[in-house]
Structure 1
Amino acid sequence: MSRTLLKDVAIIGGGLVGSSAALALRRMGFSVALLEKGFCGAQASGVNYGGVRRQGRPPEQIALSQRAHAIWPRLKEIIGIDGEFVSSGHLKLARTEAEMASLESYAARVAELGLDLELIGRSRIRERFAWIAGDVAGASLCPGDGHANPRLVSAAFALAARRAGAEVLEHTPVSHVEKVPEGFHLSAGSGTEVRARFVINSAGAWAGTFAEAFGEPVPLRRIYPSMIVTEPLSVFMNVNIGAEGGGIYARQVERGNCIVGGMRGKPAADLDFSRPTGSGAVTIMNRAAALFPALRNAYAIRFWSGTEGEMADRNPVIGFSRTTPNLIHAFGFSGAGFQIAPAVGEVLAELVRDGESRTPIEAFAIDRFARMDQGSPVGSVPEPLKRETSK
């Protein structure tokens, strides 16, 4: 049976960004349709590693990350559960002197941005984190960072948006979207039509298709981060672990399971899905066992992978379209969107309501790649198209 929905905002993509935007918009009084081709939070938002970190982000992301940092401790108030969020701290290891120099350089670059990074030398690592083995040259600790359970958090934001009055439509893929004089017309699922004044394109790894339909092609590609969870072990890991240069990250939850990642999976025949590889799983576990002796005899009980969109410069696209009034993009989080997503949702709601955000997002403009191709300075951002009124 066909139906037509009249909404202020239609959101394409029910991941954590889209769901948090839907919730924020409903709290501002806007009517919202959230359109998801599968289950909300079932792609990158729900199957990622679960790191809630500010450390290591490019300086242009820190303001957004700091805004999100204030949201995570309030999850229970906002979505009804704490999402197993733990402010454990994030320890980034340097395995070589060159990596330690890189950590020192990064700490200097963000020194005034409020991360309160602590650089720890080789001997102090041994004293403070005796469970870390190997020839570690040092580390950088961001004490306020942590980790959470993405499978809980992503679904809970979508549920909170539904409870707040958003129309959440799962298994409703958007097949067509076009600009019309009164706003946008979307066709989705089997006979669902949506007419909305605003559209938010938060379709993750699938967002490029919608951007290109409005004349805004971007260098978005799919990546497939792969993770492993071990059997429950005695708790030994008291921080969220990363490594300068990549290759390994690990955290341990209260019940003792360790989540370990650092390799990529393989796309399935249906490119919407992926699978971890046996060789990748062995590589990750060997790397983990070399650094963390407590894992050397641990059973790995589950492996998984997910589909994520990665931008060429590893910064997301967030902000108004440069071709189409009232179209807003938010995608391309390049494997690092989990921590900032709740803040991105608030930013998107502010763009709808106010036409601008109190958090700087100029660096994430969708036309930055075209400007770089044309030789314009990276910081040269043209004025956005005039925003149409929302009501």
Structure 2
Amino acid sequence: MRKTLKSAAMVVAIGVVAAVAQGLPANGATSCATLAPSDPSPGQRLGYSIAQSSDGEVTVAGSTQRYNGTTYDPSVAYVYVGATGSDLTATETAQLVRTDPVGMSGNDSFGSSVDVSGNGDTIVVGAQNYASGIGAVYVFQRTSSTSWEQSAHLDAPAGASSGQFGTSVAISDDGTRLLAGAPALSTSSQGGTAYYVLENGSWVLKTVVPGGSASALGGQDVEISADGTRAAVGAPQYKTTAGVYSGRVYTYTVTSSGLTPLATITDPSTAASSSTGSSFGFGALSFTADDNGLLIGAPFATAAPGTTGSSLGGIAFYYRYAGGWSRSATFSFPGTTSARLGYAGGISPDGTRIVVGAPYYTGTPGGRAFYSQKTGTAWGALGFVGPTGNNSSARVGISAGFGSNSRFVIGANTQDNPAGIRSGLAYVVDAS
């Protein structure tokens, strides 16, 4: 299991903002177990997406391809069920298979996004390239302790001819409210997010909120709070008047009838010299259990707010809500250009732990996941967490998120499995 090391830390209070940087990378005080597919195949990409129930018992890992030795078959999502607490024992319990009679193909990316309800009974899986890029979302319902069956196929909203519906999905803990992003929705790729409510056993589309501007890619990432009363939608390519694709995040109050705009969070690190911007809101959207904390990733950021030339290759921001959103912490590290910190990630329900993926990190081959824990009002330095000995293109941290306060999961969709090159692996980590 993992060893606990120490590294230099810098925690600087800037008004209400704590800037959490990193000296030498460190291992977090955690233990890590591997989740592998029972039928690995080359290029399978298990771990492209990942989610865990709030008790840490059920983990779902998306696999976007499936190779039969000659061609690619429609992919499946893998379900692992294990013990709660510090016991990381988990076994592959089910493979989620769609029942669509037509329309499936080996390249429709079923598994490009996943989420699971709090008790693990309801699982949502996106297939962003279904029907040549229109996209689809599937809902699976638990029928026994070890099996789930498809209960719904949600088609893309009207006008989503190539919207990539299902690029992102999120479901409330009680399994009755669902968000699904379609970042290429509309001819200008404005993007949009569909909101559904489960009524009398059927999913009813309540509203579709737009992405905000042409090419904004609204819905690239979506999140709904555990109690289903708050939502966040990332529009990472929202274009400012200065012509910079800086990105932004829209937050909403959620009711059974629709989404009411709450506030818009703009990129605090907008750099006018950047041609592409930081892609603020691209990934890592994650609420705390009280709905008042929100993690946001900016994986293409090149400098921390108020600085220049640090070549960070990504930032994660942590916001608190108090009549309006205000940034309370910034997580970054120097000297790792194009690492894409904030590509994925999550914050623990109690708001005291953060895991953030940097799948293109080059300081250690194969990408990295980073972890930080809050003590009092101070966040510790980001430290390495998860697997070691990765192949050079493993993409560790391509997906990541919390289940319980002490348990989280990490995906590495092109990690080698001895039985399948680039088949992908997933990891469950305990930090109690």
Is the TM-score greater than 0.5?
Answer: no
Structure with a larger share of its residues in strand:
2
Asked which structure has the greater CA Rg, the reply is 1
Normalising by structure 1, report the TM-score.
Answer: 0.30
**Structure 1 or 2: more helix by fraction:** 1
Q: Which has the higher contact order (CA 8 A, sep 6+)?
A: 1
Q: TM-score, normalised by structure 2?
A: 0.28
